[in-house]
A and B are shown apart, each in its own frame.
Chain A
Amino acid sequence: LKQLHFGHCVVSMDMYEIRKGFGEIKEMTQAQDQYTSIRLLHRSYSLQDTKTEDRCCFFHYLLKFYLANVFNQCQANSNFHQRRVSRIANNFLSIKKELTLCDTVTTCPCGKEAIHRYEQILSRFERMESHSAALKALGELDILLDWIDKTE
């Protein structure tokens, strides 16, 4: 389990479960993404390089982004794919609940940097056709997981 500490709030993530599930659909998902010149989760907006006090909010935004805009948009062409996406989504949901229990208002103050970084990602996402954008974001899940792994 990866533990993320945000002030007194500790959120645990089953990175193995998530990475294993994503690893099984990564190739087919990324192969469907024809827009290789666009990267949503750009390295300049990385979670680990975000100011410590803004990380919680930015992380919370990313969780909500994936739950609201990605997982349910990706109507998978196979049960195999759909089951894995659902499992990952359930993982994100429980993480988001854990974070919400931590009273996000005090634990997750949203500073300018968190808002700016999230808006940059969202604006790139919204500039794309919605299904292609959701597919790209799903294909970039390994980038998000790398960010989380690198966040001390």
Chain B
Amino acid sequence: PPSGASATHCTLPSPMNVHFVSKNMKNVLHWLPPEGIAAEKVNYTVKYLIYGTKKWIKNSECKDISQTWCDLSHETYDHKELYHARVKAFSNGNCSGWAESVRFNPFTDTKIDPPAFFLSSTENSISVIVTPPEKWQRAPGEEPEYLHQIYPSLQYNVTVFNKKIKKRWTFCIKNNSLEVQQLEPNTRYCVTVQIYITPLLLSGFSEEHCIDTLKDPTFKQ
């Protein structure tokens, strides 16, 4: 602890609401400043622990920091492990006790982002190709790990909407491509896609993308 505060005698109130915010397994620890202390006067140190081991591990990038978050994605990359994290506050030579997160299970506690997808069309059909969602990558050049490899039950809910006649179709597909046939030529169709793993683990719906089927060349208007 910094000068003035003995290791055993910290009297600052602890940080609050220490919790992980996780998206596609990019795992960032967040917390709130201790109650009643001006946020700008407080620094923090973060440690984490792999559940089932003894050692609390320092994170060199989150030592004596002023922000109230710490990216622990690297440290919690292995989604077969579970983790705890804790935060201590320092201010004016004083310090707080450790404030600990609940147990974090990347496999079940992450949130899934909506997928990106690409549309193409012919006169009577549209094709939807979903970009397979990836787990957060440690390094840009690294071989990506796809969510469907991590979650064998992963599937996509694809909704196709014909705004003219207000008709909607929903498809549930396992692989990442879908062709919808027997559509009207020269008509606009709008599509959204959702990732579905379990009722408790699914993404929001993607943005809506629309495409027109081609004109039927044989049909003279």
Q: Which of A12-20, A51-59, A66-74 contacts B (4 or more CB under 8 A)?
A: A12-20
Q: Which of A35-43, A88-96, A105-113 contacts B (4 or more CB under 8 A)?
A: A35-43
Chain B residue numbers with a CB within 8 Å of A119 are: none
Tell me the dominant secondary structure on chain B's binding face: loop
Partner of A142, one of B49, B108, B152: B108
> Contact at A15–B198, with CB atoms within 8 Å?
yes
Seed contacts A37-B49, A146-B107; 16 additional CB < 8 Å A-B pairs: A15-B198, A16-B200, A19-B108, A20-B199, A27-B102, A36-B84, A38-B52, A39-B52, A43-B80, A43-B81, A143-B105, A145-B108, A146-B105, A149-B152, A149-B153, A150-B152
Check A50 for interface membership: any CB of B closer than 8 A. no
CB distance from B84 to the nearest CB of A (A): 5
CB distance from B152 to the nearest CB of A (A): 6
CB distance from B154 to the nearest CB of A (A): 11
Instruction: Give Cα A42 to B80, complex, Å.
Output: 10
Check B54 for interface membership: any CB of A closer than 8 A. yes
Chain A residue numbers with a CB within 8 Å of B3 are: none
CB distance from A45 to the nearest CB of B (A): 12
Check A152 for interface membership: any CB of B closer than 8 A. yes
Instruction: Give Cα A46 to B105, complex, Å.
Output: 15
Check B53 for interface membership: any CB of A closer than 8 A. yes
> Contact at B199–A16, with CB atoms within 8 Å?
yes
Partner of A20, one of B53, B84, B152, B200: B200
Nearest chain A residue, comparing its CB with the CB of B55: A37
Question: Using a CB–CB distance below 8 Å, which chain A residues touch chain B?
Answer: 15-16, 19-20, 23, 26-27, 30-31, 36-39, 42-43, 46, 139, 142-143, 145-146, 149-150, 152
> Contact at B198–A37, with CB atoms within 8 Å?
no
Chain A residue numbers with a CB within 8 Å of B52 are: 36-39, 42
Size bin of chain B's contact surface: 20 to 34
**Residue among A16, A39, A42, A139 with max Cβ neighbours from chain B (10 Å):** A39
List the 3 closest A-B pairs by CB distance, nearest first.
A39-B52, A37-B54, A16-B199
> Contact at B102–A36, with CB atoms within 8 Å?
no
Question: Using a CB–CB distance below 8 Å, which chain B residues touch chain A?
Answer: 49, 51-54, 80-82, 84, 102-103, 105, 107-108, 151-153, 198-200
Tell me the dominant secondary structure on chain A's binding face: helix
CB distance from B50 to the nearest CB of A (A): 9
Instruction: Give Cα A21 to B198, complex, Å.
Output: 14
Partner of A146, one of B53, B54, B108, B199: B108
CB distance from A94 to the nearest CB of B (A): 19
Chain A residue numbers with a CB within 8 Å of B105 are: 142-143, 146
> Contact at B200–A23, with CB atoms within 8 Å?
yes
Instruction: Give Cα A146 to B97, complex, Å.
Output: 33
Nearest chain B residue, comparing its CB with the CB of A49: B80
Assuming the contacts A16-B198, A23-B200, A146-B107, asked whether A30 and B102 have C-beta atoms less than 8 A apart, the reply is: yes
> Would you mind naming 25 contact pairs between A and B with Cβ atoms under 8 Å apart?
A16-B199, A19-B108, A19-B198, A26-B102, A27-B102, A30-B102, A36-B49, A36-B51, A36-B52, A36-B84, A36-B103, A37-B52, A37-B53, A37-B54, A39-B51, A42-B52, A43-B80, A142-B105, A143-B82, A143-B105, A146-B105, A149-B152, A149-B198, A150-B152, A152-B152
Chain A residue numbers with a CB within 8 Å of B199 are: 16, 20
Partner of A139, one of B54, B80, B103, B152: B103
**Residue among B52, B53, B105 with max Cβ neighbours from chain A (10 Å):** B52
